Chains A and B, each alone.
Chain A
Amino acid sequence: MFILVVGAGRVGSTVAKWALAEGHDVSVLDEDPLSHERLDNELDTSWEEAGGRFTVGTALEIDALTEAGITEADTVIVCTDGDNTNLVVAQIARRRYGIDGVIVRVLDPRRAEWYREQGLSTICPTAVAIDMLEQAVTALT
């Protein structure tokens, strides 16, 4: 499977490395050239030597998405640090490129829920953290 990861922060870079190790074709897009170091980290070789692709560019730019291979992508994981950017990119990936497997990280729980109802696969780490904290507190009482 060809997986495009948009946003190579802690989450994006770790998921990208996992997907590559699983045997998928992986391309990563990030606007910060330094984010490449997160991909190399803990690998024996460089990210490219390990078979990964990396493109520097802004997630909203069609040229950057195209260079990163969105037209061939089976799955797109959108996890930049901006909720609004993520939600726009995810919807563009679905509508313009017809990709069904789009997964998007949204930090705001209410918008994550609403866009999930609209048919986007949203993942909300904030909601997970709230849930875990509540469970942890419950376990203490």
Chain B
Amino acid sequence: MYVIIAGAGKVGWNLARELIDKGHEVTLLENDRRRYLVVEQELEHAVQYGDASELWVLERAGIQRADLVIAVTGDDEDNILICQMARDKYDVERIVARVNNPRNLDHFKELGIEPAVSATDLILRLIEHEVPQYGLVHLLDLAGDRLEIIELIVNPDSPVAGERVGDIAMPDGSLIISVLREGGGFVPQSETVIEAGDEVLVVLDPGLEDDITARFAPNGSRPGG
């Protein structure tokens, strides 16, 4: 795979190193001369000096044959533009953009720059996973397919504790796909009885979270707490 990475900061440099180790061809672009000279001592010809939002710099790096463009500069507007041109002008199949300021995430979405990776967002999700304040944890958003998978922890006082799966009135567009119990996991049948302490994975259409939470933990009780 041929990968172009814009921005040789800590993220870009380490990404380049990892991808080269895995046997990929990589060109790293850096527009700060001093930074470029430092990185060049290690990566040699795999790093080029220039502003990755300039078309000729991208073309010199061979963007026409790139399989993946990763924009991880410190400026969100640069990352948006680099990915937009890679995808729309040079028909690069896959792009990845870094979001520096989470408040700019809407701009990435508005202009269809996906996936957009925000460190703040990732850490927040980890915290949610460790401290599930609302009783449910987002495991995965399948944005293109308009589906998500969430995890719920069943408390002793939850209305579904002791219920058969077939008797739980799940809203249309949702399905219990897995039960994690005592270190193991299994796909439940309709006669499976949900027990207190179970972790239940549910696949659902976006927007049904509140409905699901109401069935598993009504009255604001916290199944995960």
Residues of A within 8 A of B (CB): 60-62, 82-85, 87-88, 91-92, 95-96, 108, 110-111, 114, 118
Contacts and interface: CB of A to CB of B under 8 A. Distances in A.
Given A60-B104, A84-B77, 19 more contacts: A60-B76, A60-B77, A62-B103, A62-B106, A84-B53, A84-B80, A87-B77, A88-B77, A88-B80, A88-B107, A91-B110, A91-B111, A92-B107, A92-B111, A108-B54, A108-B55, A111-B53, A111-B55, A111-B85
A68 to B, nearest CB: 16
A82 B77 contact: yes
29 contacts: A60-B76, A60-B104, A60-B107, A61-B103, A62-B103, A62-B106, A82-B77, A83-B53, A84-B53, A84-B75, A84-B77, A84-B80, A84-B81, A87-B77, A88-B80, A88-B111, A92-B107, A92-B110, A92-B111, A95-B110, A96-B110, A110-B55, A110-B56, A111-B53, A111-B85, A114-B55, A114-B85, A114-B89, A118-B88
Contacts of B103: 61-62
Contacts, number: 43
Contacts of A85: 77
A85 B104 CA distance: 12
B78 interface: yes
Interface residues of B, number: 19
Given A60-B76, A95-B111, A96-B110, A87 B81 contact: yes
A87 B22 CA distance: 36
Interface in B77-110: 77-78, 80-81, 85, 88-89, 103-104, 106-107, 110
Contacts of A62: 103, 106
Contacts of B89: 114
Nearest to A88: B77
Contacts of B85: 111, 114
A92 B103 CA distance: 14
Question: Among A88, A96, A118, which residue has the most Cβ atoms of chain B within 10 A?
Answer: A88
